[in-house]
Amino acid sequence: MKERPLISAEQQVAHLAERGVRFDIMSPEDAIEFLRDKNFFFKVKAFAKCFSKYRDPASENYGRYVNLDFAYLAELTRLDHHLREHILSMTLDIEHYMKVHLNRTMMDDGADGKDVLNLLSAHERARKERLLEERFDPNGSKAAIEKMKAIANRLDGVDSNEQVALCLEMLHIAEDQTLGIDPEHLERSISYLGDSNYTRDLANKYGRRENMYVWNYLELVSFGGIIALYKFYFYDLRRGHSKEAESVKQLLFPVKALRNAAAHNGNVLNTIGQRLQKPVGSIAKAAREELGIDQELVALTKRFPVVHDFTALVLCFDRIVNDADARSEKATGLRTLRERFLEHADYFEKQIELGRGIRMLGEVMRLGADVISSGSL
């Protein structure tokens, strides 16, 4: 593959200008500074997919962007940043109150702290083994096994560095065959926490399976691990016994997906215009009937990933978080975020889908803040 060296910010601006991007609101000099000191080209350019291009091959502007100023792209990166901050803040509260709900219910049930973890571990292992069996390719595995045998035969007579390299090669082959599905993921992820200054003592003392109780697990695992326990305890062990848990059953996966995208600092607003593969119908219903959002805008929850998942996040927060101070803080934050989203709404009014997506998010912020501040759904 031919190497592609990094190009300068000046060249990046020139490239955008060639593609029809204007620099009327933000000058080329300011755009260069923005790409050098405040953001970077690939992240900014990702938002260009939200804007139209000339499609007529006979046009001299074919392939160039229609009515796109660099300031519009810069504004979307800023809005995306603010949105991600609120997503992370809200999901931290959701995670905390999921733990509180779990802890309170298990105390009331008199649950055995070790028995619950044993059952969860067996459940997750069986679930992932079933998933692996469904996706496993027996024909591909035969070739992979032969490759690993050949690599194993080379282990004798080589130095330790070469042995490490060969073992890693076998590991990659095995991971490819298992599609990254690890039946021991929960326990293995906890063991890695011993490398961190912030979790080392806790992980070393309670991270081993034989030393761990469910309250240790609640402190050690990631958001995904909390969701795994929440779903197992309320939807398998205590099926249908908690209205609170049942109310968020279909919201947890989209909330997790959005939280992970925000936590990895990935763009989320550039999914406006994409098509969602498996929308959750109850999210659209709640947006219409409980938040009171216009039917036309609600339809976007079945189309755009960020609209769908952010609506799920606001609904989940309202149904899980019962602390008055936390609710008041997030309601205020959502109102402030909406004001920021509408500050330059005119930038996007000629892009129908982008404009509607921004408007829908603003409505979820406004009406969600009203619901959160006034009480629960």
* pLDDT tens across the length of the chain (377 residues): 455 667 899 999 999 999 999 999 999 999 999 999 999 999 999 999 999 998 888 888 888 999 999 999 999 999 999 999 999 999 999 999 999 999 999 999 999 988 998 899 888 888 877 777 776 667 667 777 788 888 888 888 788 888 888 888 887 777 777 666 666 677 777 766 777 787 888 778 777 777 788 888 888 888 999 999 999 999 999 887 899 999 999 999 999 999 999 999 989 999 998 888 889 989 999 999 989 998 888 999 988 999 999 999 999 999 999 999 999 999 999 999 999 999 999 999 999 999 999 999 999 999 999 999 987 54
Which DSSP string do the residues of 241-301 spell out, in sequence order? --HHHHHTTTTHHHHHHHHHHHHTT---GGGBTB--SS--HHHHHHHHHTS---HHHHGGG
The token pair at 121 is 């571990």
**Distance separating alpha carbons of residues 102 and 336, to the nearest angstrom:** 32
Identify the sign of the CA torsion 168, 171, 177, 180: negative
One-letter amino acid identity for 193?
L
155: DSSP letter: S
